[in-house]
Amino acid sequence: MFKPRFGNLQITIIFIATLATMTGANGQKVYKCAGNVYSQTPCTESVAIDPTDNRTAEQKAQADVNTVRTRAAADQMERDRLTQEREALASQDPPKKHAKPSKRRASAPAASNAIETLTAKQAKKKKHPKTEPEFFTAKSAPAAKADPAKK
């Protein structure tokens, strides 16, 4: 019996590698259209440009170093911003849980009486919780009662 030398996986890998080497950007034209738009097809007032990277190895290495430096600076700025936001939140007073003051100015005793009255009302509300269910239940309208005097 004949045994194949290559398995399906090896054939697939060789096929993909062959296709990858054949799909180079050589010979393709790129056109720069108006603004920052690039296209493979010419457009009005387009200019053909060379898509190959003409930088030297030294220029590419310098650009890579610059990119790493910029990313590190951006990460540091983000950490600084997050630290400042945490410090700002920590330094703020916690929200007050008493009633909002009225818009007009009141004398100090009158304002304290109003607050006491509001807190007393809030305490009453807490004593008698609502007995309504948490969800909405639709009810039909009650049937109208016939008036015996009209008959």
What tens-digit pLDDT sequence spans the chain (151 residues)? 555 566 677 778 888 887 777 665 556 788 888 888 888 888 888 888 888 888 899 999 999 999 999 999 999 999 999 999 999 998 886 666 655 655 555 445 555 555 566 565 565 555 555 566 667 677 777 777 766 665 5
DSSP string for residues in 9-67: HHHHHHHHHHHHHH---TT--EEE-STT-EESS--TT-EEE--S----HHHHHHHHHHH
**Inter-residue contact 44 to 35 (CB < 8 Å):** no
Place of tokens 């950007």: 25
CA–CA separation, 112 vs 117, rounded Å?
9
pLDDT (0 to 100) of residue 129: 57
Contact 111, 101 (CB under 8 A): yes
Closest CA to 33 of 43, 23, 41: 43
The pTM score is 0.35
pLDDT of residue 63: 94
Which of 117, 93, 120 is closest to 106 using CA atoms?
117
pLDDT score of 51: 81
